[in-house]
Amino acid sequence: MFFCHFSLAIHPDRITIATGQSAGLGTSDAKVRRGGGLSPHIRIWNSVSLETLHVIGIGIFENSVACLAFSKTDGGSMIAVIDEAANHTITVWDWQKSRRIAETKKYEKPKFVLSMVFAENGDLITGDSNGNIFLWTRGSNRIGHAVLGVHVGGIFALTFSKDGHLLSGGGKDCRIVQLDTNLDPTGMAVELSSWYGPVRTLISGPGEMIIVGTTQGDILRGRLGEDFSPLVQGHSDEFWALSAHPQSHHFLTAGRDGNVFLWDSLTRRLVWAENLSEELTCAAFYPPIGPSSPTINQNGRHNNDLADSVPVVAVGTASGRWIVLDALLHQVIAAHHESNEPIQCIAFSPNGQFIAIGGRDNSIYVYSVSARGTKYVRLGKCSGHSSFVLHLDWSEDSQCIRSVSGDYELLFWSASNCKQIASPSSMRDVRWATQSCHLGFEVAGIWPPDSDGTDINASKSRSYRGHSSHVTNVNFLFDDSRVISAGGSDTAILQWEVIS
């Protein structure tokens, strides 16, 4: 049988030849057969007599032998080989003894310099996309010292600590590594939780404190060898879900990053955070169980709190599921799946006995609610929209639902049997608990003739700017003292004080 030759090298004696063979099938030479096929190998032979002198590399090489070269200075006693394996391994052989004496894999050249910092003596230290740190001597454009493989993946941040140690922050491995003045790792390192994401910036704080910025938009602080705690947390992707608590100054946000955050609007601090591992689209709190008017204690603070209410919140997902959480313990109480389309809107009835879920499958699902928001039984499905359900509202007596779809269709429903109310005019004087629907008898006058449904230009209004992207949602707090606005691509949450 003929072998495929992929490479050839001539010995310094000009007589000995080495050829690299590829993998194949069908050979009678038992020395080069492996598993019934031909193993890639190197055949060294005499070019005059055509006699095979040595066969080396059986079972070592993969696919084929790409390159060969005999050594020069020692009379050609060594041969260097590069195979066609995925990692293109380089091996050096004493071919006369068929003995491998060295091996190394390819080194991928970094594509980017991702971070840099100057040392006190003027040397430049850089971190690259392969996790390596290089020192460039002052006044030179050559590498003076290299520390390879400090991180798995790119190094996005470099800074010096107060005691002169170099700190490097990794992207893929989420680690912070300390190096001494000789750029040798000290063994001090910390790995951040994947919840916060990879490191993007590092600042040396007071004493041994380190301030870290992450790809998730979080700012952390801590010391090497200890756990890092968040100073600032927020959404890392666009979010649409926003719901103000009906009895306290808390509000909840949820977004595409899967994060659910409960915020205190008075302290402007995060109360708790939870990740549900799927895109979240909408949210609604359980209704108030008593008067929602705030009372003031002796310290001038509002008595209304989460503990005074039913601490239940429902969250819709992009997978067609909706999840009920305990707003105090941030634990899952219940979960239901309606369809493979996203949940677009969700709302509890004012009496807390029902919940309605509007989906992108053009349907509204109604459940009965009992045991203070912990048990849910499906009553039925409202079908009639020709486009996805965009908004919905409950009547004050919890008997009726109105909904608006993506094609600007307004429909009314009976909650008890999920039937469409055929006469919209009969709903003219119904009082609604909320005004989420942008169509209805109450707002008919603000829509100009032939409007496309996307803009409202007929009424007097005031505009307030603050977001750098589209505003995805707005909510008044329970006492109308503030407005919360949710940003889209800027992932920002803004509070607006209502000044009467």
Task: Note the CATH number of domain 239-469.
Answer: 2.130.10.10
In the chain, the percentage of residues whose pLDDT exceeds 90 is: 65
Take residue 379 and report the two structure tokens written for it. Answer: 């009553």
**What does the pLDDT average to over 256-282?**
94
Residue partners of 209: CB distance under 8 A and separation at least 6: 221, 222, 223
**What does the pLDDT average to over 121-132?**
93
Q: Which residue in the block uniquely carries the two structure tokens 């980017």?
A: 112
CA distance 366 to 419: 11
Q: Given pLDDT bands bounded at 50, 70 and 90, which one contains residue 66?
A: confident
**Range name among 213-222, 286-295, 360-369 with the lowest pLDDT average:** 286-295
**What does the pLDDT average to over 448-467?**
75
Instruction: Please count the CA atoms within 13 angstroms of the CA of 441 that sit on its side-chain side.
Output: 12
Q: Given pLDDT bands bounded at 50, 70 and 90, which one contains residue 314?
A: very high
Residue 372 pLDDT more than 50? yes
Query: So what's the pLDDT on residue 228?
Result: 92
CA distance 250 to 240: 17
Query: So what's the pLDDT on residue 434?
Result: 94
Buried b (16+ CB within 10 A) or exposed e, 303-341: ebbbeebbbbbbbbbbbbbbbbbebeebeebbebebbee
Query: So what's the pLDDT on residue 102?
Result: 86
Q: Given pLDDT bands bounded at 50, 70 and 90, which one contains residue 303?
A: very low
CA distance 231 to 196: 12
Query: So what's the pLDDT on residue 296?
Result: 44
Q: Look at residues 336, 339, 335 and name the one whose alpha carbon lies nearest to residue 320.
A: 339
Query: So what's the pLDDT on residue 305?
Result: 64
- Averaged pLDDT score across all residues of the chain: 88
**Range name among 284-288, 400-404, 458-462 with the lowest pLDDT average:** 458-462
Alpha carbon 486 to its chain centroid, in Å, reads 19
Q: Given pLDDT bands bounded at 50, 70 and 90, which one contains residue 291?
A: low
Most confidently modeled range among 145-149, 442-446, 463-467? 145-149
In the chain, the percentage of residues whose pLDDT exceeds 70 is: 90
Q: Which residue in the block uniquely carries the two structure tokens 């008997």?
A: 399
Residue 459 pLDDT more than 70? no
CATH 1.10.10.10 for the 113-232 domain, yes or no? no
Query: So what's the pLDDT on residue 37?
Result: 46
**What does the pLDDT average to over 111-134?**
92
Query: So what's the pLDDT on residue 82?
Result: 86
Let me know how long the chain is. Answer: 500
Provide the whole-model pTM. Answer: 0.71
Query: So what's the pLDDT on residue 32?
Result: 46
Task: Locate all alpha helices (DSSP H) within 405-497, ordered by sequence.
Answer: none
**What does the pLDDT average to over 26-42?**
56
First-to-last CA distance in the chain? Answer: 95
The sheet carrying 42-46 orders its strands as: 5-10, 16-21, 42-46, 52-56
**Range name among 59-63, 152-156, 209-213 with the lowest pLDDT average:** 59-63
The sheet carrying 113-118 orders its strands as: 113-118, 124-128, 133-136, 143-147
**What does the pLDDT average to over 263-269?**
93
Query: So what's the pLDDT on residue 294?
Result: 46
Residue 456 pLDDT more than 70? no
CA distance 153 to 290: 55
DSSP at 441? G
Q: Look at residues 395, 376, 373, 378 and name the one whose alpha carbon lies nearest to residue 286.
A: 373
Residue 1 pLDDT more than 70? no
Residue 388 pLDDT more than 90? yes
Q: Given pLDDT bands bounded at 50, 70 and 90, which one contains residue 109?
A: low
CA distance 282 to 176: 36
Q: Given pLDDT bands bounded at 50, 70 and 90, which one contains residue 179?
A: very high
CA distances from residue 239 to 232, 248, 271, 279, 486 in whole angstroms, order as listed: 17, 22, 18, 9, 7
Residue 453 and residue 445 in contact, taking contact as beta carbons nearer than 8 Å: no
Sign of CA dihedral 294, 296, 301, 306: negative
Residue 24 and residue 40 in contact, taking contact as beta carbons nearer than 8 Å: no
Residue 185 pLDDT more than 90? yes
CA distance 331 to 315: 12
CA distance 77 to 297: 92
Residue partners of 287: CB distance under 8 A and separation at least 6: 246, 348, 349, 350, 351, 352
Query: So what's the pLDDT on residue 108?
Result: 64
The structural domains of the chain, with segments of one domain joined by +, span 5-104, 113-232, 239-469
For every residue of 466-488, DSSP letters joined together read --SS-EEEEEE-TTSSEEEEEES
**What does the pLDDT average to over 456-480?**
85
Take residue 205 and report the two structure tokens written for it. Answer: 């704080």
